[in-house]
Every structure is written in structure tokens, then in C-alpha cells.
Structure 1
């Protein structure tokens, strides 16, 4: 009888011992990654990726907030969409949104810019799509400026819309130009000289018409060279310059992507700024 009790006790001990060992050997489930992550890249600094670390991109032609990448374009630039966003620390939910594209699909946006993948990125951390066609850029959360590509549209004296080409003659065609991160067009003034603002009144009474721009220029799309930017003092306020040209917004540009200043008061008096802008003449 004692031997039977001993055998039973031993069997129970072994059973509990095996159960404990099995439990200890169960692998921990992988940590759930956020749907949008904030990664650090050695070239670009902070960039946006999906949950697997695949890089996301902005398209210059999407300056108005709708997607201009349609049909065959999507083979190279698949859309990014996450119905339920979770975000890494440092990202704000208010900066994200979604659009319904012309093809009926939904797409996630960041500060109004639709987000995409690049088909030739093969592994997490790849950034092969940056500056492709001079109109695709790695998605950073904190660009100082953006590089747009769109039709220039002005107004005639009656308020009717007129399309302009890059040489400020009436016509159709896409033009590159700089905007701020939210798509507000940036201009130069033809009567300014290198490092000299010849427009703004000392009392800033005309600043509402052409507001001077003063933002930190430290996170730029890769097509722009930080050495081309500077700052000047304008009656006690700071204004940024590009290739010596003081930079301005236009007061009547109220919707992202507007560029109504290109023919106000006449075509080319207030040119847009882009990588082809010549150096401002000496004073």
C-alpha cells in the first residue's frame, strides 16, 4: 500500500513538473507595432514608416490634398491606408486624416499629404523612392518646406481663373514651386535685390498683402540645398531668403495649393520660388 501511494505521489509530481516546464517554454507573442511609426534614418533623420518599418512617401503633385497618383502610377507607388491608426510617441493624431480617392479607395494623409509606399523598397529602412522624378519625397513629420508640382492658376481683373505656364504666359503645364508644410505657396519679388526687401513698409502696413516668411529652415526636401537659404532683418523682424531673394506668402492664397499671386498685379512680378530660381542680383 505504501508503495502504491509513493508511486501515485511521484506521478503527480512529474505531471506538475512537466506542465510548468511546458508553460515556461511558450514563446512570448511579438509586441504589436503601431500602424505608423517614427523611425530614425541616418540620411533623413526622423521619417514615417508603417508597422513593419517600410518607408512612406509624399507626392509633390498632391499639394491640394487630393491624390494625383492614379491608374498606372499606383504600380510603383501603392497607397498607404490604416483604418485604425495607432501612433508612436512624437506623432499627433490630429495630424492624420484620410481621403476617398477618385478611384474610390481610402488613403491615409499626414498634414494633408496622402501617404504612399515605393514598390522598389524591398526591406524595412529602404528609402529608394526619395527624389524620384524630383516629385517624390520621403515622408518626414517636420519638413520646414515642401516641394510642390502643380498647375499655376491666377485670376483676371474680373476674378476669372487663368492657367499659367512656368514662364507666366497663359497656358497649361505643371510647375515646381516651394510651399510651407501645409501647402501655402512661397514667392519672391522681382524688385528685391540680394538680401534686401524693397517691398515691406517700415510700419508693416502692407504686410497683409505679401506677408514676409520667418520659419526655421532645417528640415528640407532633398532637392533643396540648405546653403541657399538665409535670413535678413526687415525693420526689426526676421525674413528668410532663398538664393538671396526675400520670401513671401500672398495674402489672397487661402486654400492649400493656391498660387493667385503669380499674376498680381501682373504676371511674373511675384514669381514662385523653386530649385531653378536664379540668384538674386546685387543691390
Structure 2
């Protein structure tokens, strides 16, 4: 028998995939164009978990320079609508952009700065990892480590960007790799 958290996680993945394939035609990419739902492909096995995989924040080399990733190499994002350490991404936003949560204290990996790492509370009692005061998120359209398909998206009313190891947004354009918003 699977624990309820695993089943709930799989339900969230299904919801994200439905959200991505059902509403993606209304999203814009950083070039001002739109992604169509026909270009979307997602696998429930490859989607990020909202918790349990992000205990470590590290730096990783990418086409945009050194950016923040979790312990599995999954790209981490900030949401420009978050003007403090408190997340404004809830409901359907959090289904498409899962918050990076942790049960204990986050760990600092190679390239990350310990003094920039922290946590903030979410309404459900979870602890979301922050970096330089920015709540961190995954993008449901990133299918594997190194994907940066959410880069420059303006879904949910503001821009989403990867962060450098100083905790600043990186606003360059990333190559799309199979997902997208």
C-alpha cells in the first residue's frame, strides 16, 4: 500500500499535466509568442515533486551561466510577483509551479551560499525554501535535470526566472527542451 503523500503527489502531477495541456495555449514565451498545447509533452514519472527532492540547493553550469538547482539537478525559479519571502503562488499557480519545500533545514550544495538560504512558511504549514529572500519553485514543464522551460514565462501575472548563485534573477533566454508554458 502506498503512503497517502505519494498518492497525493501523483494526483498533483496529473493536475499539473492537465493544467499544462489544457491552458498552455494562453501562455506567452519570452519572445512574445505563444506555445501551443500540441507542442507539449509530459510524463508523470519525470515531473518534479513539490517536496522531498529539494533538500539541497546548489549551483550548476547552464547556457545562462551558473544557476540554482536542487540536489537532483532540477532547475529552480523565482516568481517576480513575490515581493518578499512570502509566496504569492497558490492554488493552480502552485500546481503548475510547485513550491520547493523541505521538512527540515535545506542543505547548501556546491556553488550555493549558505547565508542566502532560508525557509518561509506556506499556508498549509509547509516550509518553502528561499534563496536571497526569494521563494523557490520548480516548473511542471521541466521534464529532466537541466531543463529550463519555464525561463521567461509570464504565467500567473508575472515573470519567472532562474537564479544565479548570488540569488539574482537571470533574464536571458533559455533553449526550450520539450516542455514550456
| TM-score after normalising by structure 2 | 0.58
Residue 91 (structure 2) aligns with? 71
Q: Which runs of 4+ in 1 moved over 4 A?
A: none
Unaligned runs of 5+ in 2: 1-53, 174-181
Larger gyration radius, structure 1 or structure 2? 1
- Aligned 8 A contact 1:143 1:221 in 2: no
Return the alpha-carbon distance in structure 2 between the equivalents of residues 106 and 89 of structure 1.
22
Alignment of 1:35-74 (within 5 A): 35-42=56-63, 44-74=64-94
Going from structure 1 to structure 2, the CA distance change for 1:69 and 1:36 (only over 3 Å counts) comes to same
RMSD: 2.2
- Aligned 8 A contact 1:34 1:88 in 2: no
Q: Which has the higher contact order (CA 8 A, sep 6+)?
A: 2
Unaligned runs of 5+ in 1: 1-32, 147-219, 224-283
Q: Following TM superposition, by how much is the alpha carbon of 1:80 offset from its aligned partner in structure 2, in angstroms?
A: 0.6
| TM-score after normalising by structure 1 | 0.38
Q: Structure 1, residues 20-76: CA drift from partner, whole Å, max 9, x if none?
A: xxxxxxxxxxxxx9711210002x101111111110000001122210001111111
Equivalent pairs counted in the alignment come to 116
Q: Structure 1, residues 124-175: CA drift from partner, whole Å, max 9, x if none?
A: 100000111151001222366x5xxxxxxxxxxxxxxxxxxxxxxxxxxxxx
- Aligned 8 A contact 2:55 2:107 in 1: yes
Going from structure 1 to structure 2, the CA distance change for 1:143 and 1:109 (only over 3 Å counts) comes to closer
